[in-house]
């Protein structure tokens, strides 16, 4: 059975992992006959958002602890991820990818990636193992794969411009499809960058995961 490492960034679209994307991805992995194994950085969230009101909540939450909600407790510190144990990588989106895994939401093309997350993702790249990034998570790609990496965040012009400014090559993509950089064995899909409901998000995610497992 193929084993897929999944890196989460908290719990909730506005300050962590986009939960629908994560659950759809985990379900798709199982439906393709593979197993998922969740990881997250053991750090404080950049901020906590009240998802009912949209307001900033003045409290501190831990990314690993919050991610454990999605993984039902079956999760480990990303610093312990040994890529020799896994066949592929998947990173869902949500603001946590741009605020906790990196600081892209704050600094755009001048962003930095959390060091443990960067090392784990680069290890998959260097081992030529396939990886899939959903929604806003592809903004991590230029710093992981270097200049020329092809990926999509859908069609948002500002995010696409930042992606290109970091050395990537952005490709527009509809919600029900994915982009494959064959040279790098790298897959991306817009998911909730474009999706207006769960079903739309599922179309591209299911296709991406199917291809990810095939490449693995």
Catalytic residue numbers?
135
- Tell me the β-bridge partners of 180: 187
């Amino acid at each position: 059975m193929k084993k897929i490492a999944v890196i989460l960034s908290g719990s909730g679209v506005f300050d962590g992992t986009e939960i629908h994307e994560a659950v759809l991805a985990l379900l798709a992995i199982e439906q393709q006959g593979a197993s998922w194994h969740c990881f997250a950085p053991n750090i404080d969230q950049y901020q906590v958002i009240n998802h009912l009101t949209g307001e900033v909540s003045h409290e501190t939450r831990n990314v690993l602890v919050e991610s454990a909600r999605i993984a039902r407790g079956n999760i480990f510190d990303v610093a312990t991820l040994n890529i020799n144990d896994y066949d592929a990588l998947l990173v869902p989106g949500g603001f946590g990818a741009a605020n906790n895994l990196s600081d892209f939401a704050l600094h755009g093309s001048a962003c930095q990636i959390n060091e443990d997350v960067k090392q784990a993702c680069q290890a998959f790249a260097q081992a030529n193992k396939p990886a899939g990034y959903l929604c806003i998570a592809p903004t991590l790609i230029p710093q992981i794969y270097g200049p020329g990496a092809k990926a999509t965040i859908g069609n948002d012009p500002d995010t696409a411009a930042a992606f290109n400014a970091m050395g990537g090559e952005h490709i527009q993509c509809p919600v029900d499809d994915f982009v494959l950089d064959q040279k790098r064995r790298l897959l991306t899909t817009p998911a909730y960058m474009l999706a207006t409901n769960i079903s739309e998000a599922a179309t591209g995610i299911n296709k991406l995961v199917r291809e990810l497992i095939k490449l693995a």
